[in-house]
């Protein structure tokens, strides 16, 4: 028994010596602790790890521990003593040079030669590993954050929004609402202030959203200038309240690049029980679209009727896109006559859509949709190309063709590539005139429009202001732009027979135009009585059903060939 004890102790001493040598290379320090005598021995290596502290080693150990780690580490140590088990812990120490190191410690409980309980332990410095790990975790956390959040605003991104919605779908009996938000005219904001300015606006809205949502709610940027707020268990009236708060907060002027900008948004709302969330986002999108259609800066709540309207409209938009490709959108032609001689003086080309199943569609049936879906410029272009082709054909056949007016939408007038596109069409100078609706000139013209107007004039294309008097006539615009002609709106023309004041109004418009050396066309001339009065007022050209309706190209060709007009003067 005694022998065996002696040999165990010898072996142990031997082992420690061997370990000392073997571990010297690996930087592992060894300690022994006699529990009953409370005596501790450290080898040189361990002293080096702790920075060669002075004093009783058990005291040194406790005092070296990082204050935040003392309690937990000592607890583990005391527990191992009480339970007479092996010991393992990791803690920080502060060395005399104030550097912080991470130490891993492992110890074995044993009874020594004197029958006294002891620990034999090994400790090594794992600071590098810990730091590397921390950095790794930090980077993983950053990567997770980046994957879940929008880089610009810090809101959740589309992916996380979908995840949040999917999670809600698993909670039974939850009432979920979405406010789907889109900034009004964001493209114009971007064009005017540059992308940095646009970013400020996006950021501003995201702040408003974060401040508006409740703890359980989610605010996300779905992309571009499209945002969404997901509200849980809100009543219909409180979701309306959320939408109103967002809109009124956004209406406070935002400081951007030293000026104050007022921004508005449209909101679509949809609500559903959690077991029926699959279509919620597309429903809020439909409502949002409706809010845009109804004039922006408003809030609409989804209804099934809205969805079916929109499905019909989507179909029409898809059809229109295809129609433009295959040439179903064609010009009809309406004559303009000289008010004195009643001879043909000009032509207006007006768009018609030969719809394969619905027949011939008038602009009223497709222009609004074309405008909201950014197809109006494509229509203008298709009409202009078809007009040029018809002019070529008619000229080739020896028909004399007067000047043709083609309508030009605001969207196309804003196109930075407009002049390049027109250049490619080799438009003969003096043959074509563009009609621009009056509202384009309400505000001061932006640089793009100014450049395009100049380019249009350089190409020998004349400029007319359409529908003059229909809205807020901008005389300043007239002076600034100096169009070749103005077209007096048919709403102004119609009442001139009954009302002296209305007649005078047209008369003064004519006078102003004449002072500025601008020619005047009257539209919507339905009778020859109108024609007479207009001629007396000094209007130079007349257009209206009295002289001809818009006609398909081959009928109009006959008219140009001199087939007598099927009308006579009534007066
Ligand atoms: P607008 O430019 O003012 O065109 C004149 C409209 O008045 C035409 O309607 C024409 O058919 C109609 N009209 C002509 N004479 C009379 C008349 O005596 N009495 C009445 N009540 N109406 C008359 P339309 O062809 O339906 O075009 C409507 C509007 O659609 C046009 O108004 C124009 O703003 C727009 N539009 C037509 N084609 C194009 C196009 O190619 N591009 C663009 N951007 N807009 C177009
Ligand atoms: Ca027109
Ligand atoms: Ca007009």
pLDDT digits (tens, 9 = 90+) for 118-177: 999 999 999 999 999 999 999 999 999 999 999 999 999 999 999 999 999 898 888 999
Check: CB of residue 405 under 8 Å from CB of residue 331: no
User: In the prediction, which pLDDT does 58 show?
Assistant: 72
User: In the prediction, which pLDDT does 81 show?
Assistant: 93
CA torsion angle for 12, 15, 17, 20 (degrees, to 10)?
Answer: -120
Residue with tokens 């393992």: 88
User: In the prediction, which pLDDT does 214 show?
Assistant: 85
Check: CB of residue 543 under 8 Å from CB of residue 336: yes
Q: How far is the CA of 332 from the centre of ligand 2 (A)?
A: 12
Q: Per-residue pLDDT tens for 250-277?
A: 999 999 888 899 999 999 999 999 888 8
CA distance 182 to 224: 9
User: In the prediction, which pLDDT does 458 show?
Assistant: 97
Would you place residue 62 in the very low, low, confident or very high pLDDT band (cuts 50, 70, 90)?
A: confident
CA distance 7 to 569: 138
Mean pLDDT of all residues belonging to the chain: 90
Q: Is the CB of 390 under 6 A from ligand 1?
A: no
Please list all protein residues whose beta carbon sits less than 5 angstroms from ligand 3, which is an ion: 466-467, 523
What average pLDDT does range 307-322 have in this prediction? Answer: 91
User: In the prediction, which pLDDT does 569 show?
Assistant: 46
Would you place residue 475 in the very low, low, confident or very high pLDDT band (cuts 50, 70, 90)?
A: low
**Strand pairing report for 29-34 and 117-125:** antiparallel
Q: How far is the CA of 482 from the centre of ligand 2 (A)?
A: 18
Q: Per-residue pLDDT tens for 218-238?
A: 999 999 999 999 998 777 668
Percent over 90 (pLDDT), the chain: 73
Check: CB of residue 263 under 8 Å from CB of residue 184: yes
- For residue 472, pLDDT beyond 60: no
Task: Render the burial of 254-263: b for 16+ CB within 10 Å, e for the rest.
Answer: bebeeeebeb
Q: How far is the CA of 354 from the centre of ligand 3 (A)?
A: 22
Q: Is the CB of 330 under 6 A from ligand 1?
A: no
- For residue 74, pLDDT beyond 90: yes
Would you place residue 193 in the very low, low, confident or very high pLDDT band (cuts 50, 70, 90)?
A: confident
- For residue 568, pLDDT beyond 50: no
Per-residue H/E/C for 409-435: CHHHHCCCCHHHHHHHCCCCCCCEEEE
Of all protein residues, the one whose alpha carbon is nearest to atom 29 of ligand 1 is: 363
User: In the prediction, which pLDDT does 98 show?
Assistant: 94
User: In the prediction, which pLDDT does 91 show?
Assistant: 97
Q: How far is the CA of 524 from the centre of ligand 2 (A)?
A: 11
Check: CB of residue 298 under 8 Å from CB of residue 308: no
Per-residue H/E/C for 491-508: HHHHHHCCCHHHHHHHHH
Would you place residue 85 in the very low, low, confident or very high pLDDT band (cuts 50, 70, 90)?
A: very high
Would you place residue 295 in the very low, low, confident or very high pLDDT band (cuts 50, 70, 90)?
A: confident
Question: Helix or strand or coil: residue 520?
Answer: strand
**Which residues, including other chains, have CB under 8 Å from residue 43's CB and lie 6 or more apart?**
20, 29, 30, 31
Would you place residue 571 in the very low, low, confident or very high pLDDT band (cuts 50, 70, 90)?
A: very low
User: What string of DSSP letters covers 353-415?
Assistant: EEETTTEEEPHHHHHHHHHHTT-HHHHHHHHHHHHHHHHHHHHHTT----EEEEEE-HHHHT-
Assigned token pair, 60:
């040194």
User: In the prediction, which pLDDT does 381 show?
Assistant: 97
Helices 304-326 and 376-396: crossing angle in degrees, nearest 10, is 30
End-to-end CA distance of the chain: 144
User: In the prediction, which pLDDT does 118 show?
Assistant: 95
CA distance 38 to 309: 87
Q: Per-residue pLDDT tens for 508-538?
A: 999 989 999 999 999 999 999 999 999 999 9
Q: Is the CB of 184 under 6 A from ligand 1?
A: no
- For residue 570, pLDDT beyond 80: no
Q: How far is the CA of 334 from the centre of ligand 1 (A)?
A: 9
**Which residues, including other chains, have CB under 8 Å from residue 212's CB and lie 6 or more apart?**
219, 229, 242, 245, 246, 249
Atom number of ligand 1 nearest to Cα 525: 18
What average pLDDT does range 384-401 have in this prediction? Answer: 96
What average pLDDT does range 295-321 have in this prediction? Answer: 92
Q: What does the angle CA 523 – CA 361 – CA 472 come to, to the nearest 5 degrees?
A: 35
Q: Is the CB of 468 under 6 A from ligand 1?
A: no
What average pLDDT does range 110-115 have in this prediction? Answer: 92
Q: How far is the CA of 435 from the centre of ligand 2 (A)?
A: 6
Assigned token pair, 436:
């621009």
C-alpha pair distances (Å), 497 with each of 502, 526, 527, 532, 539: 8, 12, 10, 10, 15
Check: CB of residue 103 under 8 Å from CB of residue 126: yes
Would you place residue 20 in the very low, low, confident or very high pLDDT band (cuts 50, 70, 90)?
A: low
Percent over 70 (pLDDT), the chain: 94
Task: Render the burial of 295-310: b for 16+ CB within 10 Å, e for the rest.
Answer: eebbbbbbeeebbeeb
From 369, 485, 523, mutation site for ligand 1 pocket: most ligand atoms within 8 A of C-beta: 523
User: In the prediction, which pLDDT does 276 show?
Assistant: 84
Q: How far is the CA of 564 from the centre of ligand 2 (A)?
A: 25
Of all protein residues, the one whose alpha carbon is nearest to atom 11 of ligand 1 is: 550
Of all protein residues, the one whose alpha carbon is nearest to atom 30 of ligand 1 is: 363
Q: Is the CB of 410 under 6 A from ligand 1?
A: no
**Which residues, including other chains, have CB under 8 Å from residue 63's CB and lie 6 or more apart?**
53
Q: Is the CB of 334 under 6 A from ligand 1?
A: yes
C-alpha pair distances (Å), 89 with each of 57, 80, 361, 386: 18, 11, 83, 85
């Amino acid at each position: 028994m005694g022998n065996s004890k002696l040999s165990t102790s010898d072996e142990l001493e031997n082992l420690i010596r061997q370990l000392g040598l073997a571990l010297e290379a690996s930087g592992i320090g060894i300690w022994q602790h006699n529990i009953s005598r409370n005596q501790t021995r450290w080898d040189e290596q361990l002293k080096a790890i702790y920075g060669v502290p002075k004093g009783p080693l058990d005291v040194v150990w406790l005092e070296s521990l990082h204050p935040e780690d003392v309690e937990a580490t000592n607890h583990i140590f005391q527990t191992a003593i009480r339970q007479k088990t092996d010991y393992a812990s990791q803690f920080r120490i502060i060395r005399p040079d104030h550097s912080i190191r991470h130490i891993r410690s492992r110890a074995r409980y044993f009874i020594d030669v004197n029958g006294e309980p002891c620990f034999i332990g090994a400790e090594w410095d794992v600071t590098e590993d810990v730091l590397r790990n921390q950095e790794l975790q930090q980077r993983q956390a950053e990567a997770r954050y980046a994957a879940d959040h929008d880089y610009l605003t810090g809101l959740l991104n589309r992916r996380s929004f979908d995840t949040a919605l999917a999670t809600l779908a698993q909670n039974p009996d939850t009432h979920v609402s979405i406010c789907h938000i889109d900034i009004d005219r964001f493209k114009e904001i971007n064009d005017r202030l540059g992308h940095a300015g646009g970013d400020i606006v996006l950021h501003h809205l995201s702040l408003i959203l974060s401040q508006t949502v409740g703890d359980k709610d989610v605010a996300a940027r779905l992309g571009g200038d499209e945002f969404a707020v997901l509200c849980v268990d809100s009543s219909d009236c409180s979701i309306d309240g959320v939408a109103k708060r967002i809109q009124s907060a956004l209406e406070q002027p935002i400081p951007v690049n030293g000026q104050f900008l007022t921004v508005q948004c449209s909101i679509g709302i949809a609500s559903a029980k959690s077991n029926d969330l699959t279509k919620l986002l597309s429903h809020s999108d439909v409502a949002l679209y409706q809010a845009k259609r109804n004039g922006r800066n408003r809030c609409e709540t989804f209804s099934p009727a809205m969805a079916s309207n929109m499905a019909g409209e989507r179909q029409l938009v898809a059809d229109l896109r295809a129609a433009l490709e295959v040439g179903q959108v064609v010009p009809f032609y309406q004559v303009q006559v000289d008010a004195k001689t009643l001879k043909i003086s000009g032509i207006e080309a007006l768009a018609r859509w030969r719809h394969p199943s619905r027949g011939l569609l008038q602009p009223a049936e497709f222009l609004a949709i074309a405008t909201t879906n950014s197809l109006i410029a494509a229509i203008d272009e298709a009409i202009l190309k078809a007009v040029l082709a018809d002019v070529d054909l008619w000229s080739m056949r020896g028909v004399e063709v007067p000047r043709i007016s083609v309508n030009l939408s605001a969207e196309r007038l804003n196109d930075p590539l407009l002049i390049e596109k027109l250049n490619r069409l080799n438009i003969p100078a003096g043959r074509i005139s563009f009609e621009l609706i009056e509202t384009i000139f309400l505000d001061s013209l932006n640089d793009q429009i100014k450049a395009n107007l100049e380019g249009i004039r350089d190409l020998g294309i004349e400029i007319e202001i359409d529908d003059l008097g229909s809205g807020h006539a901008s005389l300043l615009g007239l002076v600034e732009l100096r169009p070749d002609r103005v077209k007096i709106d048919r709403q102004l023309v119609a009442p001139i027979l009954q009302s002296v004041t209305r007649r005078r109004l047209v008369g003064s418009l004519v006078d102003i135009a004449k002072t500025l050396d601008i020619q005047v066309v009257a539209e919507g001339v339905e009778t020859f009585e109108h024609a007479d009065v207009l001629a007396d007022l000094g209007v130079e050209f007349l257009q209206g059903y009295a002289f001809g309706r818009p006609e398909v190209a081959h009928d109009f060709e006959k008219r140009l060939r001199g087939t007598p007009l099927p009308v006579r003067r009534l007066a």
